[in-house]
Homo-oligomer: A and B are copies of this chain.
Amino acid sequence: MPEPSENAGPGGPGLAGQPIGPDGPRARVLVAGATGYAGALAADLVWRHPDLELAALTARSEIGTPLNRLYPRYAVPLELRELDLADLDDVEAAIVAYPHGASAPVVAEMRGRGLVVVDLSADFRLEELPTYERFYGAHGAPDLLDGAVYGLTELEREAVAAAELVANPGCYPTATILALAPLASEGLIEDVVIDAKSGVSGAGRDKGEATAFTTVTENVTAYTPVGHRHRPEIAEKLDRLSPSDAGIESITFVPHLVPLDQGESVSCYVRSGRDVGQDELDRLYEQAYTGEPFIKLCDAPPGMRDVRDSNGCHIQVIAGDDRIVVFAVIDNLWKGASGQAIQNLNLMLGLDETAGLR
């Protein structure tokens, strides 16, 4: 394993003794599953983070390869290694980027050793175990479900700050719930159609012809038009936000693959039970998001490019002729995955929520 001096990040070992913000030494963080797009970015974000120290990178392939060779655009020189319990002794926190199902047992072991964990998989996102089992199969650590906090930071800030296990939301649910939360909380969603578009990195690494350049370029295609796994996640969270007497009749969610790398947008078409004017909409969204460091309310349709390589979410809400239209854009790898993971980890460790994210 590299010497501390090598993996202390740009700050260098000299910083190792510094307080984290006000109250402590740089927290040592392990990133598990760092070969994938989200894990690799998480590792780079920890590496460049002023208050965190990248303790180690683990993976299930590419063992021995330095991350900056696998991803030359990331500076991290650490080599990928197999996960070893011994690695966890001097580690305070972990970001786990394992596939759904494979994550739960690893997280359980880490929790058993006292690490605080942000899990990027779906394993701890759903409150309803039967729903999880229907979409993902048997659960590897159902007993941890109760203690897990759904890390959509803006909506769960206090719970996240107190949590020891945070389930990082899916990319589509992140954009969709941020787009619709102010309406859901007011019981203003009777029926919603969500047309989502995602860049190719959302599909993950090594997916063969499906994500080959020649398949994706000059192309736009819908996929999983019925039964996408993110629909139940969206439905459960929106229902939880809705006033008890106001159920959402219908949620239609259809994702599309678009020819770009990082970026995601949702166009939400909402039918409300009553007329809602632009003024009321503006008021609701300002109440919900004014002062949020990563959310920007726009008066024109936001573009994916506007939030590329940032943890931002840009939102526009419009009182349309027949429906309320809400657009939200994020970078699927940042606010949709690793950026939000750091945002959550910052809160869990008592750091500034925005540390290392701009």
Contacts and interface: CB of A to CB of B under 8 A. Distances in A.
A259 B261 contact: no
B306 A309 contact: no
Interface of A: 10, 37, 48, 72-73, 75, 191, 193, 195, 197, 200-201, 205-209, 211-223, 225-227, 249-252, 254, 256, 258-263, 265, 267, 269, 271, 298, 301-310, 314, 318, 320-323, 325, 327, 329, 358
B211 A72 contact: no
Nearest to A217: B261
Nearest to A224: B301
A72 B299 CA distance: 12
Contact of A213 (B195, B212, B223, B327): B212
Contacts of A219: 260, 263, 303-305
A250 B212 contact: no
A226 B320 contact: yes
Contacts of A214: 37, 200-201, 205, 211, 261
Contacts of A267: 195, 222, 254, 256
A218 B263 contact: yes
B256 A259 contact: no
Nearest to A227: B321
B252 A321 contact: yes
Nearest to A231: B321
Contacts of A191: 271, 322
Contact of A308 (B205, B206, B218, B258): B218
Contact of A205 (B37, B209, B226, B304): B209
A329 to B, nearest CB: 8
A67 to B, nearest CB: 13
B226 A213 contact: no
Contact of A302 (B72, B321, B323): B72
A251 B322 CA distance: 7
Contacts of A195: 193, 195, 267, 269
Contacts of A226: 318, 320-321, 325
Given A254-B325, A258-B220, A301-B223, A306 B72 contact: yes
A301 B220 CA distance: 10
A212 B318 CA distance: 27
Interface centre among A193, A226, A322 (most CB of B within 10 A): A193
A322 B216 CA distance: 29
A220 B196 CA distance: 11
Contacts of A212: 200, 205-207, 211-213
B304 A220 contact: yes
Given A269-B193, A306-B72, A252 B220 contact: no
B213 A261 contact: yes
13 contacts: A72-B314, A73-B307, A193-B193, A197-B256, A197-B258, A205-B209, A213-B216, A220-B258, A220-B260, A220-B263, A220-B304, A222-B327, A258-B259
Interface centre among A37, A206, A227, A252 (most CB of B within 10 A): A252
A329 B222 CA distance: 11
